[in-house]
Amino acid sequence: MDSEPPVVPSETSRPSLLSPNGDECKNGDSPSTANSHTDVDSAKTENDSLGDGCKGPGVMSKRQMKKLIKQKQWEDQRELRKQKRKEKRQKRKLVRQAQVTQNQEDHLNKRTRREIRPSNMRLVIDCSFDDLMALRDVKKLNKQIRRCYAENRRAIHPVQLYLTSHGGQLKSNMEEYDKGWINWKDIHIKSEHYKDIMKHEDLVYLTSDSPEVLHELDEAKAYIIGGLVDHNHHKGITYKQALELGIAHAQLPLGSFVKMNTRKVLAVNHVFEIILAFLEKKDWKEAFFSVLPQRKGAVPIEEASEAPADVSSTQEDGEESDSESETEDDVTQIDSIDNDDKNDS
230 among known catalytic residues: yes
Q: How many Å apart are CA 56 and CA 80, to the nearest integer?
A: 38
Distances (CA, A) of 15 to 10, 24, 25: 10, 10, 11
Q: Residue 322 in contact with residue 267, Cβ under 8 Å? A: yes
Q: What is the DSSP letter of 253?
A: S
C-beta neighbour count of 309 within 10 angstroms: 6
Helices 135-153, 330-344: inter-axial angle, 10-degree rounding: 30
**Which strands make up the sheet holding 122-126, listed edge to edge?**
187-189, 160-164, 122-126, 222-226, 203-206, 248-250
Exposed, middle or buried: residue 100 (CB in 10 Å: 0-12, 13-18, 19+)?
exposed
Of these residues, 126, 137, 230, 330, which one is catalytic? Answer: 230
Of 294, 268, 289, nearest in space to 278 by CA:
289
Q: How many Å apart are CA 273 and CA 277, to the nearest integer?
A: 6
**What beta strand segments (E) does 42-159 contain?**
122-126
State the sign of the Cα–Cα–Cα–Cα dihedral 225, 229, 231, 235. negative
| Residues involved in catalysis | 230
